[in-house]
Amino acid sequence: MRAPAIRALAVLSGTETVPAAAPTASSSLPVHSLGRPGSPDDRRRRATRECRLALASVEAMLADGHEKPAAIAGERTALLYTTAAAYAASNRGFIERKGGSIHFAYTAPAVVPAEVAIEFGVKGPYAIFIGGPPATLRAIWHAAILLESGACDRALVLAVEIFDECADLYTRARRLVRHPLVETAACLWLESGAGELAFRSGRGRRPNANGDRGMSELLGCEPLAALDRWRREPSPSPLELSGWWRGEEARLIWRGVSG
């Protein structure tokens, strides 16, 4: 498979500050929160935190690429969204009627990329993969398929994970995730490239706690964070991205990566 080229990338992480929202890491819960980005207009009034963070990550990606929103508008832009659990917050809010104001549609994972599509006029092919790092690696792979087939000219891979609203539940489900949980929103802009991409996924063993999975948990955002780290300190090709979630491991090998 021909590898795509990286046009731009932004990773907003709960361990850094983001525009309009200071981190609010709780002292009692092992969560590094991204807070709630402010809204410049009334249209986003009802948008959930995960939606606003998605929008903020796309804005940051555009800034990284020195581009205006018009550059990603239209039907030649594909949008691939991945998350393991960002919807849990709005699901819980709706179930418990917390605040009483969560619009039911916002409980659907599909609404996060929908807000991005509406805001930036993205109208091309789309897919939404649910899961941890393997889902995001698959989204990159799927983007490469769409680009190579000519279904789009550019593909955005969007990943969002938030934890604050369900921090107590993650404490109960310790076997599923490790701590601290780092809220992250990230967006990757891919275009046709000249390298080579290989991908493999399937059932596999969980890496050691202190092994290649790291000491914090970003779930679906981890591959994009790893890509961001690689961009800051590039190492010799090929770039290898791997991830594990619920018994499934995935590995993406990217030769001749550019960006």
Partner 1 sequence: MRRAEPIAVTAAGVATPIGQDVEAFWTSLVTGVSGISQIERFPVHDLLVGRGGEIKKLARVKSWQRIPDCRATRLLVSAADELVAQADFRPLPVDPARVAVVVGTALGGVEEGERALAGDPRRRRLRGALYDAPGHALARWLGATGPAITVSTACASGATAMAVGADLLRQDEADAVIAGGYDILCRFVMRGFDVLRSLTRDAVRPFDRRRSGLLLGEGAALVLLMREPDAGRTRLGTLLGYGSGSDASHIAAPDPDGRGLERAIRAALDQAGAAPGDVDFVSAHGTGTPINDRIETAVLKRALGARAHAIPVNSIKSSMGHTMGAAATLEAIMCLLTARHGLIPPTLHLEEADPDCDLDYVPERAREARPRICLSTSLGFGGCNGALVLAGA
Where along the sequence are the contacts to partner 1 (CB under 8 A)?
Answer: 1, 75, 79, 84-85, 87-88, 91-92, 94-96, 103-111, 113-115, 117-118, 120-131, 135, 138, 142, 145, 149-151, 169, 172-173, 175-176, 199-203, 246-248
Q: What is the distance between the alpha carbons of residues 72 and 74, in angstroms, rounded to a whole number?
A: 7
Q: What is the distance between the alpha carbons of residues 136 and 142, in angstroms, rounded to a whole number?
A: 10
Using DSSP bridges, classify how beta strands 126-130 and 77-83 pair: parallel, antiparallel or unpaired: parallel
Q: What is the distance between the alpha carbons of residues 163 and 33, in angstroms, rounded to a whole number?
A: 7
> In angstroms, what is the minimal distance from the CB of 83 to partner 1?
9
Cβ closer to partner 1: 5 or 118?
118
> In angstroms, what is the minimal distance from the CB of 23 to partner 1?
25
Q: What is the distance between the alpha carbons of residues 19 and 126, in angstroms, rounded to a whole number?
A: 28
Cβ closer to partner 1: 53 or 117?
117
Cβ closer to partner 1: 64 or 249?
249
Q: Name the helix (H) or strand (E) containing 120.
A: helix 111-120
Q: How far is CA 211 from CA 50, 54, 199, 206, in A?
A: 29, 29, 21, 10
> In angstroms, what is the minimal distance from the CB of 184 to partner 1?
17
> In angstroms, what is the minimal distance from the CB of 58 to partner 1?
13
Cβ closer to partner 1: 22 or 173?
173
